[in-house]
Structure 1
């Protein structure tokens, strides 16, 4: 079953499409979406179609930063009821915790992780491709752009992160990235993230309204109860993504990370017609799109990022999944790019 995302994820799509010489209505129809979704922000639509729309729009407009341009004027109000709850939290840290708790209500394919060490905070975002062959560049740049906009609503419009990192390679034109993120940007990194100081997360929110926050949370909790099984699924996916590069991605480690026993994880996955091994395999196939098809990392590094202890294990797995070697996939990609040029 396809993951779903609120139609509000397409906020500003028409403006960016028109600026790129596209017909927004025609692009939506071609992606299998009705143009009316732009007027129904709370409507849930298939994330794969959104991904197809953004990727095709970026290619046809010649704007490699299409998704990022959509993020430039996003507001908390675009997140609906979750945005209202985020707005009235006492600190940015509390707001990000709210976002993680209710992420599935906004976007079933977006995973958010926060790591702290030595006074530095790393806010990681991952997107599940759904279709293993669908590029994720536009969706992840949109997601990180929206995250930065959220943080600036607490920290001020001039606030700058310490670093912003992307798994994919740099575009030819970096002007949109510099305009939104500043100059501390790194590409071809191990994961997608925004890095800031711990003190930033503990900044107080002088306009927080505790009474409004309690009311908004009650409404959201009521709507989230039927989705507890789906939430466990997303928690497991998020933890697999976190643990894969460490080589410790076992169901035992995932259960320990989530604070439950293995049987609970197995039972919840079975309720959703899933198994742990199939989830690991699906996530590896999605990551392959970024690191083999879209990226230029050495394949030994790709093997490590996908949780293989040796390149030979990665090579055998890749051939079993795709019927060719990773080197052959890259050679095909290079030939296609040469023809396009």
Structure 2
């Protein structure tokens, strides 16, 4: 089954395509996207079709920043359920964590990962399985949306430490500088926004405890009803909850609006269980964390949800056949292969 995305992702496509000298409806037909998707923002359409539409339109028009031009006038309401997620928590940290958990309600092909440490916070955008081909335009739309969200809550004068892209710089940076300012880096190891950790403590003035409870209830119900498989839902929640030290089966079940036994039954129908998913997520994350020899191992243990450095060290040795300190000291080319 293909990954899906809300049709609101096409907001501003018609205007930007026409301004770029294209026939927008011809582009839609070529990409296999029905024009009905422009009439209802809640329709779910294949994410690959939208990605192909944006890349083909950029190439046909010669406009390298086509996606960014679509994104720079987006409003919070275009995000649908994610707009609610942004208002359901008391601080920016908690709100972004909620967005990371519920991004699947907007776009099943991308994942938001949040990392903190040493006074720095990172919002990292990842493309998950099922997406194919060039993704430059789609990445820049989502990055623009994230940036606009941050400006909304942190103020017009706020500036990030940097905005990072894996792809190369366009021939002209006029649109990028208009949207992001001057702290833009290309050819990086990740797509994401780097900000100060203290920015995450910013209070959200619209927060209301009673409305927040109803928002969580609504979002959890939407998440439970989505077409994403239960293992994928649990994996996304594990990614969000691990660094907060809240990644226990009961908490995940609560976020899904279910009890633990129901979640276990759904996972079992896919041949998986909660512990195996947590372990797989940790294996994926630890590869990138331990490659950075400047990051204290105690921080790695926290990011992976371990109660202590010793618990993390035992886990690492069991999975990779050596201690993490030995790996860092002796292996120059970091390639980890799990022993399980």
Same fold (TM over 0.5): yes
- TM superposition shift of 1:170: 0.9
- TM superposition shift of 1:85: 3.4
RMSD: 3.4
Number of the residue aligned with 2:75: 75
- TM superposition shift of 1:219: 1.7
Number of the residue aligned with 2:180: 181
Greater CA drift, 151-160 or 43-52: 151-160
Number of the residue aligned with 1:149: 148
Looking at secondary structure, tell me which structure has more helix per residue.
1
Greater CA drift, 35-44 or 45-54: 35-44
- TM superposition shift of 1:125: 0.4
- TM superposition shift of 1:231: 5.2
Number of the residue aligned with 1:324: none
Normalised to the residue count of structure 2, the TM-score between the two structures is 0.69
Specify whether residues 186 and 211 from structure 1 end up closer, same or farther in structure 2 by C-alpha distance, changes over 3 A only.
Answer: same
Q: Distance in 1 between matches of 2:37 and 2:270?
A: 32
- The list of structure 1 runs, each at least 4 consecutive aligned residues, that deviate by more than 6 angstroms after superposition, is 237-240
Q: Would you say 1:16 and 2:24 are equivalent positions?
A: no
Specify whether residues 14 and 196 from structure 1 end up closer, same or farther in structure 2 by C-alpha distance, changes over 3 A only.
Answer: same
Q: Secondary structure at the match of 1:74?
A: coil
The aligned runs of 1:133-148 (5 Å cut-off) are 134-148=133-147
Q: Distance in 2 between matches of 1:113 and 1:268?
A: 27
Q: Distance in 1 between matches of 2:82 and 2:64?
A: 30
Instruction: Structure 1: give runs of 5+ residues left out of the alignment.
Output: 243-255, 284-303, 311-341
Normalised to the residue count of structure 1, the TM-score between the two structures is 0.69
Could you tell me whether the CA contact under 8 Å between 1:233 and 1:268 is conserved in 2? Answer: no
Number of the residue aligned with 1:164: 163
Q: Distance in 2 between matches of 1:10 and 1:181?
A: 21
The aligned runs of 1:1-341 (5 Å cut-off) are 1-128=1-128, 130-132=130-132, 134-227=133-226, 230=229, 232-233=231-232, 236=235, 267=268, 270=271, 308=335
CA-to-partner distance for each residue in 1:214-244, whole Å, 9 max, x for gaps?
A: 222222222222449625326658999x9xx
Specify whether residues 35 and 226 from structure 1 end up closer, same or farther in structure 2 by C-alpha distance, changes over 3 A only.
Answer: closer
- TM superposition shift of 1:101: 1.5
Matched length: 266
Instruction: Structure 2: give runs of 5+ residues left out of the alignment.
Output: 250-263, 285-330
Could you tell me whether the CA contact under 8 Å between 1:129 and 1:135 is conserved in 2? Answer: no
